[in-house]
A and B are shown apart, each in its own frame.
Chain A
């Protein structure tokens, strides 16, 4: 008796559950569907063809996530035969994990945003589609895009990714402080050191204003290595020349010197970006090395004269690039439709352009730079133009499949030097050994 009634209750509950969840599923597809009532005017070839759904995964939360959603809505409203479903998959790293996981279980998307440093890893696993044929078919070639942003696009003669939301580090300057000091915006490391030291304010032995800061990230040491004329990985991808040629010691020695005098505030690792943004906004920093992605937020919130400039040179100007590219998955069943969407994003003036303009990411094609939208913005907010101009010095020397794991080792070295003040040469030699082991794997 007991068993029987339990079984009945159980079946009932399971069916209830199933009903609930299928409701949940179908009610969702309702949202994107409603958008195709919008306009039927677009040039869709044959009305009889069935609507193709393209899954597009991205890593944009917050306001930028809303801008991506708006972009996809514009696409769906102008394309009767394709429907793009955009889904946020967490930050860049989380998106990578989701992609790995979904590719293994054959539930991956058609198109995805992919942080540029991870492109090679996926390309080596042969899960990304070669975009060359699609580019040719559309009468385009690589010269359509800005050269400095194509560093993570071609691997093994295949064009596997195109730039989408790209950024670089630049120097954000509180010009009001520099004017008070009667100093110019620094263009070399020596000038930077002088300005940063002059900007320090101490009250009762406590520093209330630092000279400069940068988030806890590999980006800035990488930039400084290139600025000193060295490389992170050698061309062959076997070692880390910046350690053996002494550049590493020079870079970290420079940072430690500045940290010792209060000229450099090196933030705690957790949430470092927000911490230094806050300090800069509050006028507690004269200079900030930070991504171009923060320009929009800073313009809105600072109440001093805010300018941007190239990262200062040691022996040369140099900057790494960052942000994400867009890729097509080899497993996609609807590659033509997926390309249609990618092409639209990168070429149509209603594509990714409004997203790029509003977010502060870099324009990625020459056509975007010529567009009225970018021209108007640069006229109104010249701080944004600096980042594009700096691109002529873009160089990425951390390209290797092993980068994601070596990056963790590099972070450990940065922590040991910047937080625990361990011996620079010894720490870097330890890092070199570990990096070479990972490179040889």
Chain B
């Protein structure tokens, strides 16, 4: 009896996990399946789940539908620039908030938290007008400058830095290490999981961003991949869902790769902050 019970429990656990997994993974599988179907198969009801003959040509059709090289390059430049700039700004900021007590630090930190809570929909019109006024509408800058800081990142990294024991920092100072050296050699290596998390969240949200580039750009030259994929849709008439889904697979592939690369660090970040 005592033997049967744990086994039943484990089976139940796996079944539940599997159900949950299906909920999350099914849309992805359907996307991949649709991307390999013929037009007729996409229209069929009940829906086709396994295409009769995988149509890899859909990927070629999607790529030939526009200047995808430019879109891809723009997406990479925008996303990487944002991540690098955010790191440059948020690492010192988080260090300052975590390890220094100065006048007004509480007030300044609450300003950061406030920035974290203001939705982009409130600020996009003034920001757009500002960028248009500066005459940089036809460059990639309007898609980068507004995201050079990351309030959530400052918050997360500050919490992480706070967990680094004060004694370690004191010891380093006694050894005549500069603040920059402490940050670089001590704080950052101990905060790898948090940094990976911030970078990944940033990457995913800006790589997938549709709203902001749609508002900020009006020429194909500066548009990212998300807008390029949206172009595959027909305005009137019949949309080629198989081609659109092929475009979507191309879009999410880098995210999956980065996730596989970063996932260990992220799990660590949450486990660590969970134990505290």
**Is A24 a contact partner of B84 (Cβ separation < 8 A)?**
no
Closest CB-CB distance, A299 to chain B, in whole Å? 11
User: Which of the segments B1-9, B18-26, B66-74 contacts the partner chain?
Assistant: B66-74
A91 near B43 with CB under 8 A, answer no
Whether, in the assembled complex, B59 has its beta carbon less than 8 Å from a beta carbon of chain A, the answer is no
Name the one of A28, A89, A298, A301 contacting B222, with C-beta atoms under 8 angstroms: A28
Instruction: Give, as a whole number of angstroms, the nearest-CB distance from A242 to chain B.
Output: 25
- With A9-B88, A85-B219, A94-B214 known to touch, is A64 a contact of B77 (CB < 8 Å)? no
Chain B residues 191 to 234 lying within 8 A of chain A, measured CB to CB, are 214-215, 218-222, 230-234
Across-interface contacts of B40 in A (CB, < 8 A): 281, 301
User: Which residues on A sit within 8 Å (CB–CB) of B129?
Assistant: 104-105
**Residues in B whose Cβ lies below 8 Å from that of A284:** 45
Q: Is B180 an interface residue (CB 8 A)?
A: yes
| Bound-complex Cα distance A43 to B141 (A) | 40
Contact of B73 among A13, A24, A94, A301 (CB under 8 A): A24
Chain A residues whose CB sits within 8 angstroms of the CB of B88 once the complex forms: 6, 9-10, 13
Min distance, Cβ A417 to any Cβ of chain B, angstroms: 25
Interface stretch among A53-61, A229-237, A252-260, A336-344? A53-61
User: Are B236 and A27 neighbours in the complex by a CB distance under 8 Å?
Assistant: no
Bound-state Cα–Cα, A340 to B88, Å: 51
The B50-76 residues at the A interface (CB cut-off 8 A) are 65-67, 70, 73-74
Q: For B140, what are the chain A residues with a Cβ–Cβ distance below 8 Å?
A: 20-21, 24-25
Q: Are B221 and A62 in contact (CB under 8 A)?
A: no
Q: Which of A10-33 contact B (CB under 8 A)?
A: 10, 13, 17-18, 20-22, 24-25, 27-29, 31
Q: Whose C-beta in chain A lies nearest to the C-beta of B132? A: A105
A60-B74 CB under 8 A given contacts A85-B219, A277-B43 = no
**B138 at the A/B interface (Cβ < 8 Å)?**
yes
Instruction: Provide the residues of chain B in CB contact with A89, threshold 8 Å.
Output: 218
Q: What residues of chain B lie closer than 8 Å to A13, measured between beta carbons?
A: 84-85, 88
The answer to whether the Cβ of B105 comes within 8 Å of any Cβ in the partner chain is no
Beta-carbon contact of A28 and B230 below 8 Å: no
Does B137 have its Cβ within 8 Å of any Cβ on chain A? yes
Q: In the bound complex, what is the Cα–Cα distance between A274 and B44 (angstroms)?
A: 11
26 A-B pairs whose Cβ atoms sit less than 8 Å apart in the complex: A1-B178, A2-B178, A2-B183, A20-B81, A20-B140, A21-B139, A24-B74, A24-B140, A27-B70, A28-B70, A61-B232, A61-B233, A62-B231, A62-B237, A64-B234, A88-B231, A90-B214, A102-B218, A104-B129, A274-B241, A284-B45, A294-B236, A294-B238, A297-B237, A322-B236, A360-B237
B residues bordering A, Cβ < 8 Å? 39-40, 42-45, 65-67, 70, 73-74, 77, 81, 84-85, 88, 92, 128-129, 132-133, 137-141, 144, 178-180, 183, 214-215, 218-222, 230-241, 243
Extra inter-chain contacts (13) besides given A24-B140, A62-B243, A277-B238, CB under 8 Å: A1-B179, A2-B183, A13-B85, A17-B141, A17-B144, A21-B139, A21-B144, A87-B218, A274-B238, A274-B239, A278-B45, A281-B40, A297-B237
